[in-house]
């Protein structure tokens, strides 16, 4: 018997707990940073990436205050580069300002910018993500929880964690990128949107990315709206959620997003990237680059020389369907660097990746475990604020 589509996710969790005779899953104490292009890192509250007592900088834009901590500060590298660091920070603040303007919410978010990479031997140009509990069910990430509830799920830790690899040539200006140059503003808006929760936890075998390490069927607010177009059947259902069909469905190019606003904005259910073979970090977490139209930001790739800085209607629709109900691009200007100092093109004299992808990862998602045990209170706060929106599809079977 399916649940009502407007039932809050927390209510689904409570019903699931009663059905299995538990108040909380046995491994609910572990939380995970999920970055489609960098993998998954597990933490307990004693070993999470604690932010500095004072953020490196604070940006207030369109009702949201971003407390930004730069691990590069004092290193003369990455975002602290003597000639390019100021412009790089301006690009990040420009991307955050644009996102705040679009989602049209109020609150505070802590953003951790981890130590930069400078390695043209890997194809990951940047990554960003947010934290999830490792419990059975469909869950929102920490970014949405804090914006939606005003409560910080994990005190002393960021909502968004990100990293940039400067081993490639980037356009760090308001101008379009030159040939062979990746556009930094486009890349940052894309990755930060993953930090809003535009990400999937479906593995190539149809189980959750958390299944092997923690035995949980944990999925996201994007996963709950994925379905096969030709059937049509939701990819995931049940209690706990499981794949409805077979693994061939995940590589058949037949997956779409069932959010009502995204579908209305696009004109039909927008296609999800589901290539053969399965591409860890890209499959299920992006629009299908080969068939989607309208140049949306959340395609799985952004080639060099291309500027894709603003959300298409389908991107905004997906954000609304995932709970950012006030999202709109009406009257919102394109992102720009908030201040210009030492900007330039062609920095990071590395070669372009063999596969010209500005938002890809060379290998499939990998997992690492940091620490053991945690404070029960942190996870309880996370679960209490996992509210669901009326226009989001929800289902589970008793």
- Per-residue pLDDT tens digits for 128-153: 999 998 899 999 999 999 999 999 98
User: Is residue 134 in a domain?
Assistant: yes
Q: Which residue has the higher pLDDT, 123 or 165?
A: 165
User: Is residue 395 in a domain?
Assistant: no
pLDDT classification of 277: cutoffs 50, 70, 90? very high
User: Is residue 337 in a domain?
Assistant: yes
For residue 212, what pLDDT is reported?
85
Work out the average pLDDT over 342-350: 38
d(CA 282, CA 302): 12
| Packed helices 376-384 and 9-20: angle between N→C axes, nearest 10 degrees | 120
Model confidence, pTM: 0.82
Q: Is the peptide bond before 15 cis (omega within 30 degrees of 0)?
A: no
Average pLDDT, the chain: 81
User: Is residue 161 in a domain?
Assistant: yes
pLDDT classification of 19: cutoffs 50, 70, 90? very low
Q: Which residue has the higher pLDDT, 388 or 208?
A: 208
User: Is residue 3 in a domain?
Assistant: no
Q: Which two tokens stand for residue 310?
A: 């603003």
Work out the average pLDDT over 159-178: 97
User: Is residue 207 in a domain?
Assistant: yes
For residue 365, what pLDDT is reported?
35
Task: State the DSSP H helix or E strand holding residue 212, giving kind and residue range, or none if neither.
Answer: helix 211-214
Distance of CA 353 to CAs 96, 121, 139, 169, 196, Å?
Answer: 26, 8, 34, 10, 26
Measuring CA to CA, which residue among 328, 228, 303, 314 is closest to residue 268? Answer: 314
Q: Is the pLDDT of residue 394 over 90?
A: no
Q: What is the pLDDT of residues 284-296, one digit of tens each?
A: 999 999 899 999 9
Percent of all residues in the chain with a pLDDT value above 70, rounded to a whole number: 75
For residue 164, what pLDDT is reported?
98
d(CA 16, CA 25): 10
Starting at the edge strand that comes first in sequence, how are the strands of the sheet with 233-234 ordered?
233-234, 226-228, 255-257
Q: Residue 180 gets which letter from DSSP?
A: T
Residue the block writes with tokens 């379009």:
176
| Burial class of residue 338, CB neighbours in 10 A (0-12, 13-18, 19+) | middle
| Burial class of residue 213, CB neighbours in 10 A (0-12, 13-18, 19+) | middle
Q: Is the pLDDT of residue 87 over 80?
A: yes
User: Is residue 377 in a domain?
Assistant: yes
**CA angle (113 as vertex; 111, 115 as ends), nearest 5:** 160
Q: Is the pLDDT of residue 397 over 80?
A: no
Q: Is the pLDDT of residue 110 over 50?
A: yes
Q: Is the pLDDT of residue 117 over 80?
A: yes
Q: What is the pLDDT of residues 212-268, one digit of tens each?
A: 888 899 999 999 999 999 989 999 999 999 999 899 999 999 999 999 999 999 999
Neighbours of 326 (CB within 10 A): 12
d(CA 19, CA 75): 53
Percent of all residues in the chain with a pLDDT value above 90, rounded to a whole number: 68
Which residues span the domain enclosing 110? 9-384
Q: Is the pLDDT of residue 351 over 50?
A: no
Number of structural domains in the chain: 1
d(CA 126, CA 358): 8
User: Is residue 325 in a domain?
Assistant: yes
């Amino acid at each position: 018997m399916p649940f009502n589509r407007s039932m809050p996710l927390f209510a689904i969790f409570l019903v699931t707990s009663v059905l299995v005779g538990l108040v909380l899953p046995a491994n609910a104490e572990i939380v995970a940073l999920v970055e489609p292009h960098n993998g998954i890192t597990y933490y307990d509250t004693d070993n999470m990436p604690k932010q500095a007592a004072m953020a490196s900088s604070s940006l207030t834009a369109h009702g949201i205050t971003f407390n930004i901590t730069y691990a590069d500060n004092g290193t003369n590298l990455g975002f602290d580069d003597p000639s390019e660091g100021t412009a790089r920070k301006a690009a990040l603040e420009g991307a955050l300002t644009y996102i705040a303007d679009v989602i049209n919410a109020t609150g505070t978010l802590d953003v951790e910018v981890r130590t930069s990479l400078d390695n043209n031997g890997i194809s990951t140009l940047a990554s960003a993500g947010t934290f999830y509990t490792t419990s059975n069910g469909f869950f929102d990430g920490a970014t949405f929880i804090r914006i939606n509830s005003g409560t910080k799920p994990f005190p002393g830790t960021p909502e968004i964690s990100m990293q940039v690899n400067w081993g490639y040539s980037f356009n760090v200006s308001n101008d379009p990128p030159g040939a062979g140059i990746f556009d930094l503003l486009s890349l940052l808006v894309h990755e930060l949107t993953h930090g809003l929760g535009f990400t999937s936890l479906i593995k190539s075998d149809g189980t959750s990315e958390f299944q092997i390490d923690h035995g949980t069927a944990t999925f996201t607010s994007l996963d709950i709206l994925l379905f096969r177009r030709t059937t049509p059947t939701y990819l995931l259902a049940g209690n706990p959620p499981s794949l409805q069909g077979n693994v061939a469905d995940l590589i058949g190019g037949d997956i779409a997003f069932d959010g009502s606003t995204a579908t209305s904005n696009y004109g039909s259910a927008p296609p999800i990237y589901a290539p053969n073979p399965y591409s860890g970090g890209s499959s299920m977490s992006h629009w299908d680059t080969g068939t989607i139209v309208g140049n949306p930001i959340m395609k799985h790739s952004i080639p060099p020389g291309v500027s894709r800085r603003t959300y298409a209607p389908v991107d905004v629709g997906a954000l609304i369907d995932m709970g950012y109900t006030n999202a709109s691009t009406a009257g919102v200007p394109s992102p720009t660097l908030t201040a210009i100092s030492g900007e330039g093109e062609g920095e990071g004299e590395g070669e372009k990746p063999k596969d010209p992808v500005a938002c890809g990862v060379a290998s499939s998602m990998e997992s690492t475990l940091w620490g053991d045990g945690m404070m029960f209170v942190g996870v309880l706060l996370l679960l209490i604020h996992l509210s669901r929106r009326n226009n989001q599809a929800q289902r589970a079977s008793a």
